[in-house]
Amino acid sequence: MIKLIIALLFPIIVFSQQTKIVYPGYTSYYNVATKIPDSVIWMCKQHIKVATREPGFHSTGGRPNLSKDYAHSGYDIGHNSDASDMNGNKIDEYNSFDFCNTFPQLPNLNRKTWLALENRCRQIAPCKVKVSWKGIKLYIGIDRVAVPQYCIKEIWYGKTYEKYMMPNEDSVNKHNFDYYKIK
């Protein structure tokens, strides 16, 4: 009976730790407990680049600045709604560097395979994009930032739906992003 009560209460506890953060360019469902968003949703649109890349990441809304947690961890501060999708104006570009839009990714995932999928989204734009994760691999830093075991990207365009699930491992770049498409 106690296990049943705990099982019924657990989703409520996890959900209550989620904060919806709405920026003009994206919506983040930030999880206070894990220090990363459960998901981030935005519309990837074709645009002309107006804003230059921000010099660094920041936190707003009283959330902790996690720069020190990532320092020397071996993990990149991986954008969810990527800066290149947000550089059509300076406000969206700035907001894309908020920690409520990031989670730890190993360099080969962030800079290679995930980047290739980001570029694919811009090629098929306009499209709706949702980034999320599955499983916690470990925690980094004094704030205990959760490191996703898998990074997930879902894309909707026209009548097409695509879903990709990539392991947060440096070996991920042994395959093209298409390899990680869920059929």
Q: What is the pLDDT of residues 37-95, one digit of tens each?
A: 999 999 999 888 888 887 799 999 999 999 999 999 999 999 999 999 998 899 999 99
Compute how many other C-beta atoms are within 10 angstroms of the C-beta atom of residue 152: 17
pLDDT at 48: 85
Residue 11 has pLDDT above 80, yes or no: no
pLDDT at residue 5, rounded to an integer: 42
What is the number of other CB atoms lying within 10 angstroms of the CB of residue 158?
A: 8
Q: Please write the tens of the pLDDT for every residue from 114-165.
A: 999 999 999 999 999 999 999 999 999 999 999 999 999 999 999 999 999 9
Alpha helices in the chain (DSSP H): 2-16, 67-70, 83-86, 90-95, 107-108, 114-124
Give the Cα separation of 89 and 49 in Å (integer). Answer: 8
Q: With beta carbons less than 8 A apart as the criterion, state whether 143 and 35 touch.
A: yes
Quickly tell me which residue has 């997930």 as its tokens: 152
Tell me whether strands 127-140 and 145-157 are parallel, antiparallel or unpaired: antiparallel
Residue 54: predicted pLDDT: 75
How is domain 18-180 classified at the CATH fold level?
A: Extracellular Endonuclease; Chain A (3.40.570)
Length, in residues, of the chain:
183
> In the prediction, which pLDDT does 132 show?
98
Bridge-partner residues for 151, per DSSP? 133, 166
User: Is the pLDDT at 3 greater than 50, yes or no?
Assistant: no
* Amino acid, res. 77: I
Return the higher-pLDDT residue of 176 and 48: 176
9 confidence band (pLDDT: 50, 70, 90):
very low
Tokens of 20: 């919806």
172 within 8 A of 148, measured Cβ to Cβ? no
Q: Please report the pLDDT score of residue 167 as a whole number.
A: 98
Pairwise CA distance, residues 117 & 100, whole Å: 21
Is the separation of the CB atoms in 126 and 158 below 8 Å? no
Q: What is the CA radius of gyration of the chain?
A: 16
- On the question of pLDDT at 20 being above 80, the answer is yes
* pLDDT value for 51: 84
Question: Sorting pLDDT into bands at 50, 70 and 90, what band is 17?
Answer: confident
Domain boundaries, the chain: 18-180
What is residue 10's predicted lDDT score, i.e. its pLDDT?
Answer: 43
